[in-house]
Structure 1
Amino acid sequence: MTIIRLGYVAMSMELKNASPSKTMTFAQFQKIKNREAAIRKLESIAQLNLQNTLRLLKHNVASRIHFYRLTSRLIPLANHEELLDWDYMKPLHAKLIEIGDFASKHQIRIDFHPDHFVLLNSPKKDIFKNSIKTLKLHYLLLKRMGIDPTHRCVMHVGGNYKETVTSLERFIDNWMVTPRPIQKMIMLENDDTSFSLKDTLYLCEKLDIPLVFDYHHHLVHHHSNWEEDWDRVVQTWRHSPLPIKMHISSPKSDKEVRHHSDYVDIDMFIKFLNVIKGSIPQIDCMIEAKKKDEALFKLMDEVRTKANVEIIDGSSFFLK
């Protein structure tokens, strides 16, 4: 049997006024004439984001959800070039510890997925430098929470730049100058336009990086049957302290196949699970659906109607 655990991304459709991604643009920051007052405003927004994150984690515990993706927008303008003198961690320290302690106490797996502008294979040195800076922020947030950063940050390979092989090799070159603590934090995901499962496996096997299999992306952009490479995907996790992770979502429509639907197609999901069941003891499935936790609850309701499952709790089940 294989244990399946479901998680969701950042926002809840059930909790009101609980966004963890409230922000301030630099233009808004500049409109506050007193710079210290502007920084205090930033800190106030960040504190609210962290407080809402804690609310979301409490909601997850009440709903028996053990897997959650933090937003990468917890601290607005944290790495802005005009605010490099701002020690944003100091006023947020206590709240970060509280979040980390709560997640650890209730054994909630949490991770990040940085925005699309984080490109480790960029040919432009300034973009690569800024990408490392952004990844360092994620690393420091996890460390302040007291959470082991190992394999907590999933990202895409990067830009294709109309040359797949060259772009893959540039990732390797740039990886060699990426700080080791950040390397250990990274997981790679196959995408829906540039780097297929086989492309991503090439990097993951060469550099010893876990591969987060995105089933939807593979169905949209593939060069092979994923089943023939599943054992290779599993092997990329052999040194990880965490269970194998995947992404699950469904196409919005036949015409908009790359866009995520509000919910997950249960038949599509079960079809995948029936292939991999028994190959691994556990898999954590991050739902990337527009309806967030509502999509998780709906999927669990549909899972309960299937004959070959045994429900564990509000977000987990055995596939027999």
Structure 2
Amino acid sequence: MLFRLYLARPLRSTVQIGLMATTLRRSSRFVMRETVQETTVSAVAAPISKGRKKRKLEVDEEEDSSEVDSKLDVQKDTKTRRKRLPKEPIVYVIPDVVKKETTFKGRLGYACLNTVLRNKRPAKDAVFCSRTCRLESIKKNGMDWVKDLGRKNVEDLLTMIQWNEDNHIKFMRMSSEMFPFASHGVHGYSLDYCAPLLAQVGELAKKYGHRLTAHPGQFTQLGSPKPEVVAASVRELEYHCEMMDRMGLGVDSVMIVHGGGMYDDKPGTLERIKKTVTETLSANVRARLVLENDEMCYNADDLLPLCEELDVPLVFDYHHDALFPSSIPPSEIIKKANAIWVRRGIKPKQHLSDPRPGAVTLMERRAHADRCESLPADLPDDMDLMIEAKDKEQAVFQLYRMYSLHPVNHDSLRPPNEHQTKETKGRKSAKKRRKNADAEEELEEEELDGTVDE
């Protein structure tokens, strides 16, 4: 009707025609909306009037459709929700151990990670101290986010110390990733923001008589011919030292580093290490510094004379010595090494691990076994022994049970892995990377730049 009326009138201007078209569309939508509402109301009301008494149906035209949807969702969830049955507790079958005897009275410890706490489920309940990130994450999330990772790591360290006390373990190595990128040349930062929490760690460790140590990564190369690598290594030691100082830890909390690469000149590298220690390291860093023999470059024959000259303690690693033996037996090395520890007033400590079962080649034998099958026969009675095994605290418990060193909480025990691979868990250097120390340094420079995560 309206359309016909418009056509019957004389021609109008373009503006007038547009206004008339708009009026027509609005009128059409109004008529359609009214029709739909009437149809909907009648369709809803019809079934009700057939089977029940007539009731007045009130429709609130202003009711928000999203509110109606949410009410329907709640009703749906109520109908479909089912009660979850509680999960049955896992029962671990723990095999017996072969009983052995020893006169050892020292402490056994493990490194960085607790397998029981790390594997807690759900994942949000897992406890560990190695939350880290990449440079891309720093650029994306900012430094406050990175610092919060460090705060969470320290909070979990408190939990680990308490767990260790409850399970008769009083010796542990802290993760070097406690504060991601804290020693970085560009993104490094002070630990002042976390000082109160770090102080709590130290107080708890002192309360229980626990020893906490650190082992900065293999990229800590004090004898590198590249000044920038030495500078980065010094920053890494300063970061670890700051962490321990803020915890208020005593002289027994040491930082262990290897000799590093040889750079085709072992005597010259040893001289550079000596120069860095005597001329570059601060007094508090040097007070915590300890060197360790390794399985590729520097055995005890190489490091012991340097340690005696610098009055820097030597950590003797039994596994490394088996792969790269010295000219004197372990008992003699430990005797000379312990003399430095005692002279410095520091509790002696050494490292123990076994190669994986069936390992033949050097690369296979470098990989640590899940657990240790015995204590060394020449082990001094009063010293601390770090168990560098893949099963961490479980390797300590196994030795506890073997030698009746301490009581063990059965609920904390886990069965050993029946199938241990002979391959190393780390990066492979054969064919892809040079086997000498230059390749190690090149890799670690990438880590310092944040391109590789350990």
Q: Secondary structure at the match of 1:154?
A: strand
Give how far 1:6 is off: 0.3
**Deviation readout 1:126-151 (Å, 9 max, x if unpaired):** 11111111101111111111113565
Cα distance in 1 for residues equivalent to 2:252 and 2:108: 20
The yes-or-no answer on 1:213 pairing with 2:322 is no
The residue aligned with 1:59 is 163
Decide which moves more: 52-61 or 156-165: 156-165
CA contact (8 A) 1:65 1:314 kept: no
The residue aligned with 2:137 is 28
**Structure 1's 150 and 262: CA in aligned 2 closer, same or farther, altered over 3 A?**
closer
TM-score by length of 2: 0.62
CA contact (8 A) 1:212 1:247 kept: yes
The residue aligned with 2:332 is 228
1:226-305 to 2 correspondences below 5 Å: 226-252=330-356, 253-255=358-360, 256-266=364-374, 269=375, 272=376, 274-277=377-380, 282-304=382-404
CA contact (8 A) 1:143 1:149 kept: no
The residue aligned with 1:127 is 229
Cα distance in 1 for residues equivalent to 2:345 and 2:359: 38
1:155-194 to 2 correspondences below 5 Å: 155-177=257-279, 178-194=281-297
CA contact (8 A) 1:151 1:240 kept: no
Decide which moves more: 214-223 or 231-240: 231-240
Q: What code does the residue aligned with 2:134 have?
A: T
**Structure 1's 141 and 132: CA in aligned 2 closer, same or farther, altered over 3 A?**
same
CA contact (8 A) 1:150 1:186 kept: no
Q: How many residues align?
A: 294
Cα distance in 2 for residues equivalent to 1:62 and 1:148: 23
The residue aligned with 1:308 is none
Decide which moves more: 96-105 or 152-161: 152-161
Higher strand proportion: 1
**Structure 1's 151 and 29: CA in aligned 2 closer, same or farther, altered over 3 A?**
closer
Give how far 1:251 is off: 0.5
Q: What code does the residue aligned with 2:367 have?
A: H
Decide which moves more: 17-26 or 149-158: 149-158
**Structure 1's 223 and 146: CA in aligned 2 closer, same or farther, altered over 3 A?**
closer
Q: Secondary structure at the match of 2:315?
A: strand
2:180 to 76, 88, 113: 76
Q: Aligned Cα RMSD in Å?
A: 1.8
**Deviation readout 1:106-127 (Å, 9 max, x if unpaired):** 1100010000001111111111
Q: Secondary structure at the match of 1:68?
A: strand
Give how far 1:220 is off: 0.5
Q: What code does the residue aligned with 1:119 have?
A: Q
CA contact (8 A) 1:151 1:184 kept: no
CA contact (8 A) 1:150 1:184 kept: no
Cα distance in 2 for residues equivalent to 1:313 and 1:233: 31
Q: What code does the residue aligned with 1:220 have?
A: L
1:99 to 184, 201, 223: 201
Unpaired stretches in structure 1, ≥5 consecutive residues: 33-37, 305-310, 316-320
**Structure 1's 275 and 122: CA in aligned 2 closer, same or farther, altered over 3 A?**
same
Unpaired stretches in structure 2, ≥5 consecutive residues: 1-102, 121-125, 410-454
Cα distance in 2 for residues equivalent to 1:49 and 1:229: 36
Q: Secondary structure at the match of 1:7?
A: strand
Cα distance in 1 for residues equivalent to 2:262 and 2:151: 37
Decide which moves more: 61-70 or 233-242: 233-242
Give how far 1:229 is off: 3.0
**Structure 1's 276 and 9: CA in aligned 2 closer, same or farther, altered over 3 A?**
closer
Give how far 1:226 is off: 2.3
TM-score by length of 1: 0.87
The residue aligned with 2:240 is 138
**Deviation readout 1:143-182 (Å, 9 max, x if unpaired):** 1111135651111112112322222122112222122221
The residue aligned with 1:115 is 217
Cα distance in 2 for residues equivalent to 1:90 and 1:164: 39
Cα distance in 1 for residues equivalent to 2:214 and 2:269: 24
Q: Secondary structure at the match of 1:119?
A: coil
CA contact (8 A) 1:2 1:282 kept: yes
Q: Secondary structure at the match of 2:366?
A: coil
**Structure 1's 127 and 149: CA in aligned 2 closer, same or farther, altered over 3 A?**
farther
Cα distance in 1 for residues equivalent to 2:333 and 2:132: 41
